[in-house]
Amino acid sequence: MADYPLLRKVSRCLRQWDFAARCVLFQNGDHLELLDILDPQGECRALGVAVDLGTTRIVMRLVDLSSREILSDTVLNNPQISVGSDILTRIHHASTDEGAEELKAMVCLAVDDGMETLCLQAGVSTEQVYVVTVSGNTAMTHLFMGLPVDHIIREPYIPVTNTPGTRRADLFLSNTHPEGRVFFFPNIGSYFGGDLISGVLYSGIYRREETTLLVDVGTNAEVVLGNRDWLVACAGAAGPALEGGVSSMGMTAGSGVIDRVSIEGEDFSVGTIDDLPPVGICGSGFIDLAAALFLTGMIDAKGKLVESACGARYTHEHGLPALVVVPGEDSGTHGPITVSQASLDSLVRSKAAMFTILETIVMKVGVGFDDLDRIYVAGTFGAYIDPESAISIGMIPDLDRTRYEKIGNSSLEGATLMLFGDRYMDEADAIRDRITYVELNVDQDFMIRFSGAKFIPHTDPDLFPSVTIPKPKE
């Protein structure tokens, strides 16, 4: 059935076009919706935008729905950061109607800006955008939609909806075709969001015969394990530990940020983004650094800086031990680039949380790490991690490196896939229905495993046979 505004113009257009038209149809579940009719002699372009709605960043992609060509990409900061960088502060802010409205407006405006940027880059009109697919965690999706979020963080953690579904775009956005639609990925409760469903969809693990582990490492860490017969997921409870860790671990990737570190003797060799003088260090660079520090004995198994091994690089910051990675004369900031003991402690907690989560989920279903045919590493942060370094510090299991496969921003990729066919809607629902969500209770067992993982690489070195543990220099 045609929407009302279209009904008003269809009779005139058809006569003008000699009763020929191209139709823009939207398959919404079991029914087709006629969004627009186009002059068959004209350009006839229908575009879609995929949105990875992150807590920190919003990544957007413009796609031609007919040719499936990617026309442009853009990234913007989530402006809700001005209210609070963590989701908890935003949820508190949204507890009043005005606050919720404000947060909704912020993010909708940002996405609208993104739409404009994307279309400008591609030289197309925002009026040609008929579909927007949004993949975000449950809280972000609710905040975008202006839905109450109070109960996402209150027991028993029930979001307003697990199936936000397809809505008219004009409820949220201005920069689409007036009859445009927004599809929101479904979520499983408060702690397993649409971004992860989107990631599972893109990874295809739900279709594989072999058991695969999908690890999404972004601001948070979520894990899905399974194959075409079963799927188990966990996230959340241990997340905050890692989240604090990852975000304190360094800056987000950008020009001049160190993303690769190796140490040869006393020489630190750093790689930076765009090969500019170093200005800081990002998460993946930090993991590289920690691995190198450990393998050269500059930090011990507890992650503590070993003064004697660090030599001249050992220093103090705010009264705590620290290490100079790049001296002031070589940096882009003209000051030394350092890592503090506090950051290293935080990294150890994060990697321990990560490993414990992986260990726990694998144990829960009675398989071993060796049974994992493949490990997909997704997420903005995960995309840059060097498995070698991550294994060296005991963050991820010590498996053949070829089993690790980076799949990039799987949330954005899943949202892109969703633009190409309603069958993916059914698949997203099917994934949602099939996943068994395991609450990672931070119980005594978990804490025991967590304590064991707080050593580099682990209290049980047999778990990391390929890591050569250095002999203490002392």
Positions that interact with its own copies (CB under 8 A): 1-2, 4, 7-8, 10-12, 15, 30, 145-148, 150-151, 158, 160-161, 163-165, 167-168, 171
Strand partners, 61: 50, 73
CA distance 467 to 457: 8
Taking the complex as a whole, the smallest distance from the CB of residue 462 to its own copies amounts, in Å, to 49
Taking the complex as a whole, the smallest distance from the CB of residue 47 to its own copies amounts, in Å, to 24
- CB of 98 or CB of 400, closer to its own copies: 98
DSSP string for residues in 86-112: SHHHHHHHTTSHHHHHHHHHHHHHHHH
**Residue 285 Cα distances to 5, 76, 193, 225, 409, angstroms:** 53, 22, 28, 27, 19
- CB of 163 or CB of 308, closer to its own copies: 163
CB atoms within 10 A of CB 217: 26
- CB of 121 or CB of 163, closer to its own copies: 163
Taking the complex as a whole, the smallest distance from the CB of residue 156 to its own copies amounts, in Å, to 12
- CB of 94 or CB of 391, closer to its own copies: 94
- CB of 170 or CB of 317, closer to its own copies: 170
Taking the complex as a whole, the smallest distance from the CB of residue 165 to its own copies amounts, in Å, to 6
CB atoms within 10 A of CB 443: 9
Strand partners, 272: 258
Pairing state between β 47-53 and 221-226 = unpaired
Taking the complex as a whole, the smallest distance from the CB of residue 1 to its own copies amounts, in Å, to 6
Taking the complex as a whole, the smallest distance from the CB of residue 419 to its own copies amounts, in Å, to 21
Nearest C-alpha neighbor of 324 from the set 333, 332, 311:
311
Its sign, for the CA torsion 370, 374, 380, 382, is positive
- CB of 101 or CB of 371, closer to its own copies: 101
Question: Under a CB-based contact definition with an 8 Å cutoff, are residues 225 and 232 in contact?
Answer: yes
Taking the complex as a whole, the smallest distance from the CB of residue 192 to its own copies amounts, in Å, to 18
Taking the complex as a whole, the smallest distance from the CB of residue 50 to its own copies amounts, in Å, to 22
- CB of 59 or CB of 108, closer to its own copies: 108
CB atoms within 10 A of CB 455: 17
The phi and psi torsions of 74 (rounded to 5 degrees) equal -155, 155
Nearest C-alpha neighbor of 195 from the set 149, 251, 136:
136
- CB of 12 or CB of 334, closer to its own copies: 12
